[in-house]
Structure 1
Amino acid sequence: MSAEIIDEHDGDGIRRAGEALRSGAVVAAQTDTNYGIFCNPFLERTCTSLYAMKKRDGGKPLTLFVASPADWVRWGRRPEGVDVDALVERFWPGPLNLIMRKREIVPAWVTSGKDTVSVVHNVSPVLNLLSVYSGLPLAATSANISGTMDEGLVTFDIAREHIGEHVDIIVRAAAPSGASRSSTIVSLLGTPAIVRQGDLAAEEIAPYLPGLVP
């Protein structure tokens, strides 16, 4: 069965989608970069379905999207030697994912059994409303079949083609994200290091991360 498609300005639809997420639905929506697929991180069966629908390696963790910059501390542990509050105040909301040690509340099926978690707070009003209406951080991965996107971003059309028969709802954005690459990912485990370079350059982040390894 094909996904229900709602537009990003459909307030009632977004509210309904948020409530559905809490109950176990899978929703696709545009992040600050790619389209992603989102679910309730505390429902193992739903998280497992994300891996299945995109044929994702089970050893690759999901990311938690949060509705407020301050929410990171609920899911991740404060790393030594990094002022995370200053970092997120400067760069969130935006396409910067931070990897840190996780708190026990984060389920193992979200982190692939690892003791770390990736957290991000995007500009996207849709994602933030979905998180608010569901009352949850959103477990997510990109909305494409794994191994099919060597370059470029996952658009609405790609998401619909790849996972449209498996998700419950797709939120159609009014315009592309405007990004040229996927989000920048920074590890805060030990010496800060860039895991993936996105549009946010290392030079911009470096003043907030002493010893940053590009």
Structure 2
Amino acid sequence: MVETELLKADMEGIERAAKFLQNGGLVGIPTETVYGLAANALDGKAVAKIFAAKGRPMDNPLIVHISDFSQIYHLVATVPESAKKLAKAFWPGPLTMILPKADCIPDEVSAGLPTVAIRFPSHPAAQQLITAAGLPLAAPSANLSGKPSPTTAEHVMHDLSGKIEAVIDGGPCKVGVESTVITLASNPPRLLRPGGITLEQLRSVLGEVEMDDAVLHPLKEGVRASSPGMKYKHYSPKANVIILDGNDEQYRNYVNSHIAPGVMALCYDEDCAGLKSPYLCYGAETDMSQMAHHLFDALREVDLLDAKTVYARCPAPKGVGLAVYNRLMRAAGFEVLHL
């Protein structure tokens, strides 16, 4: 048990956090996507502490964060033209690229795979911390494994206080869902996890990009996760989340006919007036970015409200909506009722 310090995102806080990281400690850090739990990516023992703090399975690879594109050359075996094109278009930003790893990457980071995931975050505090520490930082989301990802420093403190050295408070995360993950270690490149950079945007830069089957479906039995976020159940509150697949009227009618203690709706803003049960709205039907921004906050709030069952509306799996669809499917353990 350690006393977790809540640090400001100023130079004093950044430098203190950098010292913790240089000494093998763990720090919760803000990024534009969600808060990450960072350790020195080149120190296998430090990285192993991430798995222990989160209760995360060791077969789930981590993402390495950098603060300048030139740093990628020390972490991967080769940098193809496709990586340079994507970096020019989307870095710094919510995009992770998977490439063959360099020898310096410990197995704890790559989960024993021959590849490593690299990201250049756009949040200034994350960039300043990486630079101040002088280290690439391995960082999954800073939550207990399987639970909704944290989008505020308070979320991180709630989940991990007493288990990590510090959290930097950089304010609420802008995007709200984890980064898009694309593997460039296959031909053609393949989308493994959707996020704020859409499949359409990736294709506009690279041309052909496949979408992995595990984006929309459970990871097949015996298949290893080659990216974070591919596990069967993830991002889940304590409440049982059930996705309702139907139009506006069908959704509202179903929820209104299943009112009971502990039942809540997770709905679009447009649904609120027509619902008779308790509800949480997570965005307008036409604003996928707003839904992404609010989703994890809403999934955490249903537990604070002691909900037992949550009937969720889910957007069409296109654009940023594909990321919201992907997260909700995993939060629900792929439990869908077709109305």
**Same fold flag (TM > 0.5):** yes
Instruction: Quote the Cα distance in structure 2 between the aligned partners of 1:77 and 1:45.
Output: 23
Deviations along 1:53-109, whole A, 9 cap, x unmatched?
1110100111100011222222123366x4311210110000100111101111122
Q: CA deviation at 1:138?
A: 0.4
- Corresponding residue SS for 1:199: coil
- Corresponding residue SS for 2:41: coil
What residue number does 1:184 align with? 180
Instruction: Quote the Cα distance in structure 2 between the aligned partners of 1:24 and 1:172.
Output: 20
What residue number does 1:95 align with? 94
Instruction: Quote the Cα distance in structure 2 between the aligned partners of 1:14 and 1:51.
Output: 23
**Residue 104 and residue 140 in structure 1: after superposition, are their counterparts in 2 closer, same or farther (change >3 A)?**
same
- Corresponding residue SS for 2:140: strand
Instruction: Report if the CA contact (8 A) 1:79-1:189 is conserved.
Output: no
Q: CA deviation at 1:209?
A: 2.0
- Corresponding residue SS for 2:138: strand
Query: Does 1:5 find its partner at 2:6?
Result: yes
Instruction: Name the structure, 1 or 2, with higher relative contact order (CA <8 Å, separation 6+).
Output: 1
Calculate percent identity across the aligned residue pairs: 27
- Corresponding residue SS for 1:141: coil
Q: CA deviation at 1:153?
A: 4.8
What residue number does 2:32 align with? 32
Return the letter of the residue paired with 2:92.
P
Return the letter of the residue paired with 1:186.
I
Instruction: Quote the Cα distance in structure 2 between the aligned partners of 1:92 and 1:131.
Output: 15
What residue number does 1:66 align with? 66
Instruction: Quote the Cα distance in structure 2 between the aligned partners of 1:33 and 1:42.
Output: 23
Q: CA deviation at 1:19?
A: 2.4
Q: CA deviation at 1:180?
A: 3.6
Residue 169 (structure 1) aligned to one of 162, 166, 169: 166
What residue number does 2:50 align with? 50
Structure 2: state its 5+ residue gaps. Answer: 212-339
Instruction: Report if the CA contact (8 A) 2:142-2:150 is conserved.
Output: no
Structure 1: state its 5+ residue gaps. Answer: none
Instruction: Quote the Cα distance in structure 2 between the aligned partners of 1:170 and 1:108.
Output: 26
Instruction: Quote the Cα distance in structure 2 between the aligned partners of 1:42 and 1:24.
Output: 10
Q: Which has the larger radius of gyration?
A: 2
Instruction: Report if the CA contact (8 A) 1:153-1:181 is conserved.
Output: no
Instruction: Report if the CA contact (8 A) 1:35-1:142 is conserved.
Output: yes
Instruction: Report if the CA contact (8 A) 1:24-1:46 is conserved.
Output: yes
**Residue 73 and residue 130 in structure 1: after superposition, are their counterparts in 2 closer, same or farther (change >3 A)?**
same
| RMSD, aligned CA | 1.6
- Corresponding residue SS for 2:147: coil
Instruction: Quote the Cα distance in structure 1 between the aligned partners of 2:97 and 2:105.
Output: 15
- Corresponding residue SS for 1:28: strand
Instruction: Report if the CA contact (8 A) 2:144-2:160 is conserved.
Output: yes
1:190-205 equivalent positions in 2, closer than 5 A: 190=186, 191-205=188-202
Instruction: Report if the CA contact (8 A) 2:42-2:104 is conserved.
Output: no
- Corresponding residue SS for 1:119: strand
Instruction: Quote the Cα distance in structure 2 between the aligned partners of 1:141 and 1:76.
Output: 19
What residue number does 1:127 align with? 126
Return the letter of the residue paired with 1:90.
A
Instruction: Quote the Cα distance in structure 2 between the aligned partners of 1:49 and 1:63.
Output: 15
What residue number does 1:86 align with? 85
Instruction: Report if the CA contact (8 A) 1:144-1:154 is conserved.
Output: no
Instruction: Report if the CA contact (8 A) 1:78-1:84 is conserved.
Output: no
**Residue 156 and residue 91 in structure 1: after superposition, are their counterparts in 2 closer, same or farther (change >3 A)?**
same
